[in-house]
Amino acid sequence: MPESRLEVKLLSGTPSAVSLIYAAFRQCYSPGFAGELWPQLLSGDVSQEKQADFIGKILESGHDSPVEHVCYTFAVQGISRALTHQLVRHRIASYSQQSQRYVDAQDFQYILPPAIAAVPEAKQRFEQFMGEVGRVYSDLQSMLTKSGRGAKANEDARFVLPQAAESKVVMTMNCRSLIHFFELRCCRRAQWEIRKMAWKMLKILRMELPVIFSKAGPRCERLSYCPEGKKFTCGKMPLKS
């Protein structure tokens, strides 16, 4: 069972994202009809720079709901079940996750925490245990198959798989949800694995849609103070008090 590595790929994004957000914002503040404005935006009558400038100014006022019209879809592999349990708590999103019920896990990959990797004896013990889990899974799968479970053996054998077991997901979030996700998960206090994934996603989106994501990141950077309070602050930013 080899160690797995994180990989994040952008699969899809809403076409003409800047123009769509611009049209939605303009609809909020204009007596005109966005449906009539749309062809002008696509033809270039209103430059992308002008659209982005308008969006930026409105966002500074705190009005951000129109960015929900734009979504991005990512494929991620090399993440643990421990991470995906955290990920699905972000409920304004869609997830498709690799099934341990249907996918054979005899040779499952795993995620090795850096803190364990840094201690040779801990790393050795961890890897020994992963190997033992694989053998137990295989034994149970064989026993269950012989007992009549057949193709359904996986759904019971999987109960021995650890949170370190590697998983793969496809997820879709709108821009507003992504900004919230980055505020929480790019924070230094976020768990190391989901923080690493969040920063990889943010790096991609800063290139894809800078007008929305160039300033996205930990919540403290937007607020200019740490909202975690004295007990939990990492010390990067001053407290609100």
Nearest to 202 by CA among 11, 8, 24: 8
- Rounded Cα distance between 166 and 186, Å, is 21
Catalytic: 188?
no
Q: Which of 158, 185, 195, 219 is catalytic?
A: 185
Hey, how many other C-beta atoms are within 10 angstroms of the C-beta on 61?
7
Strand partners, 76: 8, 169
User: Which ranges of the chain would DSSP assign to H, the alpha helix?
Assistant: 17-29, 34-43, 48-60, 81-87, 114-117, 120-144, 153-157, 175-185, 192-208, 210-213, 219-223
Tokens of 7: 């990989």
| Catalytic center residues | 185
